[in-house]
Amino acid sequence: MTELLIRNGTVYVPAGPRKADVLVSDGVVTKVEPGLALTAEGTEVDARGKYVLPGAVDVHVHSRDPGFPEKEDFGTLTAAAAAGGVTVVLDMPNTVPAVDSAGVLESKSALARSKAHVDFGLWGLIRSSTTPEQLESMAEAGAIGFKAYLAYSFSLSRKQVLYSPGDDDPDLEPPADYGTLSRLAPVVARLGLPLAIHAEDPTILTAFRRPVLTYTDLLDSRPPDAEAVAISAAAAVARDAGANLHVAHLSSAVGLKAAEDAIRAGTALTLETCPQFLLLTADDFDRVGTAMKMLPPVRTAADRAALVDGLKRGVIGMVSTDHAPHTDEEKSLSFEEVPAGSPGVQTLYLSCLQLAKDLGDVWLAPQWVSRAPAEFAGLEESKGCIAPGFDADLVIVDPKMRTRVRPEDMRSRQRHGALNDHEFDFAIDEVYLRGEPVTRGGKPRGRMVRPALVAR
């Protein structure tokens, strides 16, 4: 039996912060109270003056693995996650081949296990052709939930989710639409898993399609109405079916309004937003450059203010990253050619600690990035909390050290990032996955997490 004792820190427990020691035995928290001592062979760490927080659960990342190892893979993704205090990543299903069946999910899980430095969960894909049986077998294989990309077709030859509106190509299966959701939401509801959507209405995107040469073109091509309409329509479907609708990367004030209306009307709806929408506005583009080309786009100061307010009021429960690297070379092409998406997982916790501090309550951060996402993902019995019986996924944060985000410190395969040069009033000291330090790499120890299902 190996123990770990973290002494004298300010520990974030379910009831709030308190001065305590944390005793860990074989990767599991056994005691959280003052004045503890090791009872067996082990390591003692002094966390005086520091915070001891539960590891973050990032519900929205893109490992690019399998498919695009030159952009990222499970090793580099999870090394970046570990360095930033993210101890569980939930990977989106648009890797190649896309995760549209239990077989693909199982082979992706085996691949990820061989490389992962933190624990991981896998989302399954909803295609317009997906059957109830496919959803059931993916749930059986451990899918964390299902995601439908409303405006994105599916390449049958490449087994890949693609943004290609209006293309008349026999190789492209039409996107999952509200009909697909209506057909499959009762199945997802029965399985007790979240039904996640990429919330942009395709007809609105088609109506506003244009050459995207500038940041203004990008904003004009992805109007916030597209988000609001998609949320309202999907919410009507989910409410009727009794499904839990999850809106990925909420980016706009009108999208938030649509979601609040849907919640008031009785929809079980969860929201995630991302640091880029909470810390940046379109005005930052001139300074940041193409690393800020992401979809949905970072919008106006009014959108940012609405999202921060939604988070403060608790309507938006979670902050995820939508970590989506492309190569640094791809991100240095002309604006029109630059693919959308950038890394972000390593700065999730620091971003949220800063935002929470600026809102007057630093302890909101572990709620947004750890507790709420762990509950959302069905991991509430093992993750998201520092208490006896929980995995010892722990983050020691120094509130007296500052961090400046520097490309050379990023552990992703890529160096670009929308928050480069950002400064935070905190530094990540050490991160533990099930009781063992992971900030400096080492042997991959990540395991697949599976939701504890009530409905099955």
- The mark string for 307-326 relative to Zn ion (x by CB under 5 A, - otherwise) is ---------------x----
How far is 227 from 151, CA to CA, in rounded Å?
11
Here the tokens at position 416 are: 């670009």
Residue 273 in tokens: 């937003």
Tell me whether residue 272 or residue 322 sits nearer to Zn ion (CB atom). Answer: 322
Nearer to Zn ion, 91 or 322 (CB): 322
Q: How far is the CB of 60 from Zn ion (least distance, A)?
A: 6
Pick between residue 122 and residue 189 the one whose CB is nearest to Zn ion. Answer: 122
The full DSSP string for 385-447 is: --STTSB--EEEEETTS-EE--GGG--SS----TTTT-EES-EEEEEEETTEE-TT--S----
Report the DSSP beta bridge partners of residue 319: 273
* CA dihedral of 347, 348, 352, 354, whole degrees rounded to 10: 0
CB 54 within 8 A of CB 32: no
φ, ψ of residue 416 in degrees (nearest 5): -75, 155
Per DSSP, 384 falls in state S
Nearest-approach distance from CB 20 to Zn ion, in angstroms = 37
Rounded to the nearest whole angstrom, what is the least distance from the CB of residue 341 to Zn ion in the complex?
7
Q: Tell me how far, at minimum, the Cβ of 106 lies from Zn ion, in Å.
A: 22
| Nearest alpha carbon to residue 19 among 9, 29, 32 | 9
For residue 368 the two structure tokens come to 């947004």
Which CB, 57 or 362, lies closer to Zn ion? Answer: 57
Between 100 and 322, whose beta carbon lies closer to Zn ion? Answer: 322
Q: Minimum Å distance from CB 149 to Zn ion?
A: 9
Give the shortest CB-386-to-Zn ion separation in angstroms: 29
Q: From the CB of 339, what's the least distance to Zn ion, in Å?
A: 12
CB atoms under 10 Å from CB of 36, counted, come to 17
Q: In terms of CB distance, is 412 or 439 closer to Zn ion? A: 412
| Minimum separation from the CB atom of position 183 to Zn ion (A) | 23
User: Between 248 and 254, whose beta carbon lies closer to Zn ion?
Assistant: 248
Asked if 370 and 56 count as a contact pair (C-beta separation under 8 A), the reply is yes
Q: Give whichever of 130 and 320 is closer to Zn ion, judged by the CB atom.
A: 320
Kindly report the length of the chain: 456
Residue with tokens 């506003």, as numbered in its chain: 208
Which one, 322 or 429, has the nearer CB to Zn ion?
Answer: 322
CA distance 355 to 365: 8
What's the min distance (Å) between Cβ of 294 and Zn ion?
9
Contact predicate 351/278, CB 8 Å = yes
Q: Which is it for strands 160-162 and 153-155: parallel, antiparallel or unpaired?
A: antiparallel
- Please list every residue from 121 through 140 that binds Zn ion, using CB under 5 A: none
Per rule CB under 5 A, count of chain residues that contact Zn ion? 1
Which residues are CB-neighbours of 344 under 8 A, at least 6 positions away? 274, 275, 276, 321, 322, 323, 324, 417, 418, 419
Distance in Å, CB of 364 to Zn ion, minimum: 24
Shortest Å distance, C-beta 83 to Zn ion: 21
User: Which 3 state secondary structure label does DSSP give 333?
Assistant: coil
Q: What is the DSSP letter of 72?
A: -
Three-state DSSP state, 278 = helix
Return the closest-CA partner of residue 165 out of 127, 195, 209, 125: 209
Q: Which is nearer to Zn ion, 11 or 143 (CB)?
A: 143
Q: Which is nearer to Zn ion, 303 or 322 (CB)?
A: 322
Residue 186 identity (one-letter amino acid): P
Supply φ then ψ for residue 203, to 5 degrees: -70, -35
Measured at CB, which residue is nearest to Zn ion?
322
Binding residues (CB under 5 A) for Zn ion: these are 322
